[in-house]
């Protein structure tokens, strides 16, 4: 236990440098810019934008917690990325550099490929087959697993925050309600590296020798280690059509956590049995892609929770401090009647509330089929709106589920096709 506390102190000491790290501040600006850009969808659906500062503060706080958790695991396991080369003075961060280059190139095919599971798996396979780049595959795959474990934790606790209601046209042409989740977290991450010449290494903490089992992902060499700070960004993008955002996030986080643990276990085994390095390198991208396809198919083919057809009218979203929120009207509820008048459409509801009733009661059907009576009163001003977004039968604005053109194709069109048209 004393060793673990000392290790935690070492991680905290290194992470404290995040305040003066210029790259980390650049990443914060990128997250701010992307949040600001996506706020257009919020305005289109809600007629107002969710507070940008609230989004940023939530991302920074939760990202810091995730960074502490992940950094502690990295140092505790003694994960290194570089393969040990005697008398080498190479840059210990080159493994990360290769991954970033591959990830950016793959993102030109599709944005979701901007992920260490794909780039890391590809770099690992190339290294195993051709001996280049010079990376320690078990350590690299363990790092990918830990990054996704951090991501699963953040999705669980924060993935549903600031979800935006939308109307979606499915592949079968049916239009339903849903939510998009779009969260990003700047992560202060501490990594372990081999202590090359002219670097200060660690073989003990505060004068105490490391335990005999450390590092767990050893390269079977007797040398010292150094720790260094690397800022990264983790992101989560998903859509919820068949369940509320919080349930969708918990299911995604649970699956991603299992994926991460399996990958870490394969990496630890690979440190002892090199043949398992191939298994870990293949598992990382293939299993991650399977999770993506599984989730998309679930939402596309499953029974929609927010359906404009059927009895009554379906609630998609309730505004903060609105009558709907105060009377505990929830997304997915179906309003069957108001003050004993059967409700067939949103316009009928608007007409009724146009009389400014001072007391209303709603007969509501919950997603589980149970019936509830909800009440609200305002004797001073009357009630002219519920403050709820209803799923219309024929919405005037909607989004479509498709992959769209790849960033590479879009860039090509902007650089070349536009110029051709001008020359004519």
Span 216-257, pLDDT tens digits: 666 555 456 667 778 888 889 899 999 999 999 999 999 999
pLDDT of residue 401: 66
Same domain, 106 and 156: yes
Confidence (pTM): 0.83
Same domain, 87 and 198: yes
Within a domain: residue 400? no
Within a domain: residue 326? yes
Same domain, 291 and 343: no
pLDDT value at 117 more than 70: yes
pLDDT of residue 200: 43
Same domain, 257 and 200: yes
Same domain, 168 and 247: yes
**393 falls in which pLDDT band (50, 70, 90)?**
confident
* Owner of token pair 């901007």: 114
Within a domain: residue 420? no
Summarised one tens digit per residue, pLDDT across range 312-360 is 999 999 998 899 999 999 999 999 999 999 998 888 999 999 999 999 9
241 in Cβ contact with 299 (< 8 Å): yes
Final residue before a domain boundary, out of 301, 327, 354: 301
Final residue before a domain boundary, out of 301, 335, 358: 301
Q: Encoding tokens for residue 304?
A: 């929609």
Within a domain: residue 205? yes
Domain span including residue 354 = 313-390
Final residue before a domain boundary, out of 246, 273, 301: 301
Within a domain: residue 176? yes
pLDDT value at 49 more than 80: yes
Output the domain CATH number for residue 343.
2.30.42.10
Same domain, 159 and 271: yes
Burial code (b: 16+ CB inside 10 Å, e: under 16) for 292-331 equals eeebeeebbeeebbbbbeeebbbbbbbbeebbbbebebbb
Same domain, 151 and 263: yes
Same domain, 32 and 119: yes
Within a domain: residue 250? yes
123 in Cβ contact with 140 (< 8 Å): yes
- Strand 164-169 relative to strand 399-400: parallel, antiparallel, unpaired? parallel
Instruction: Using alpha carbons only, give the angle 86, 87, 89 rounded to the nearest 5 degrees.
Output: 115
Within a domain: residue 273? yes
Same domain, 212 and 349: no
pLDDT value at 204 more than 80: no
Summarised one tens digit per residue, pLDDT across range 359-391 is 999 999 998 889 999 999 999 899 999 999 999
Within a domain: residue 419? no
Same domain, 241 and 319: no
Count of domains forming the chain: 2
**72 falls in which pLDDT band (50, 70, 90)?**
confident
Same domain, 327 and 252: no
Same domain, 105 and 208: yes
């Amino acid at each position: 236990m004393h060793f673990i506390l000392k290790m935690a102190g070492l991680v905290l000491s290194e992470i404290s440098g995040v305040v003066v790290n210029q790259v980390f501040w650049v990443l914060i600006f990128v997250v701010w810019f992307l949040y600001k850009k996506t706020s257009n969808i919020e305005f289109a659906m809600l007629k107002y934008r969710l507070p940008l500062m609230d989004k940023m503060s939530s991302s920074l706080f939760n990202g810091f917690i995730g960074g502490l958790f992940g950094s502690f695991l990295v140092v505790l396991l003694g994960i290194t990325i570089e393969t040990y080369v005697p008398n080498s003075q190479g840059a210990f961060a080159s493994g990360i550099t290769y991954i970033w280059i591959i990830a950016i190139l793959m993102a030109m095919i599709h944005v979701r490929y901007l992920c260490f599971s794909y780039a890391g798996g590809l770099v690992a396979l190339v290294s195993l087959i051709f001996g280049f780049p010079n990376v320690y595959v078990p350590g690299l795959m363990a790092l990918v697993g830990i990054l996704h474990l951090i991501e699963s934790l953040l999705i669980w606790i924060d993935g549903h925050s600031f979800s935006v209601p939308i109307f979606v046209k499915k592949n079968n042409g049916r239009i339903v309600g849903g939510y998009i989740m779009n969260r990003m977290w700047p992560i202060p991450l501490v990594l372990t590296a081999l202590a090359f010449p002219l670097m200060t290494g660690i073989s003990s903490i505060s004068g105490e020798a490391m335990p005999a089992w450390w590092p767990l992902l050893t390269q079977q060499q007797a040398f010292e280690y150094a720790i260094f700070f690397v800022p990264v960004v983790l992101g989560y993008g998903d859509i919820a059509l068949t369940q509320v955002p919080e349930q969708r996030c918990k299911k995604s986080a649970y699956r991603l956590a299992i994926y991460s643990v399996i990958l870490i276990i394969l990496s630890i085994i690979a440190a002892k049995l090199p043949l398992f390095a191939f298994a870990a390198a293949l598992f990382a991208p293939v299993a991650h892609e399977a999770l993506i396809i599984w989730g998309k198919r679930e939402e596309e083919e499953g029974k929609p929770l927010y359906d404009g057809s059927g009895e009554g009218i379906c609630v998609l979203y309730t505004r903060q401090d609105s009558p709907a929120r105060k009377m505990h009207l929830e997304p997915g509820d179906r309003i069957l009647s108001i003050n004993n008048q059967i409700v067939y459409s949103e316009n009928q509801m608007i007409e009724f509330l146009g009389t400014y009733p001072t007391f209303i009661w709603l007969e509501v059907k919950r997603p589980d089929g149970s019936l509830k009576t909800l009440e609200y009163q305002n004797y001073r001003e009357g009630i002219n709106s519920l403050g709820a977004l209803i799923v219309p039968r024929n919405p005037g604005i909607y989004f479509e589920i498709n992959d769209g053109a790849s960033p590479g194709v879009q860039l090509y069109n902007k650089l070349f096709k536009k110029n051709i048209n001008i020359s004519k």
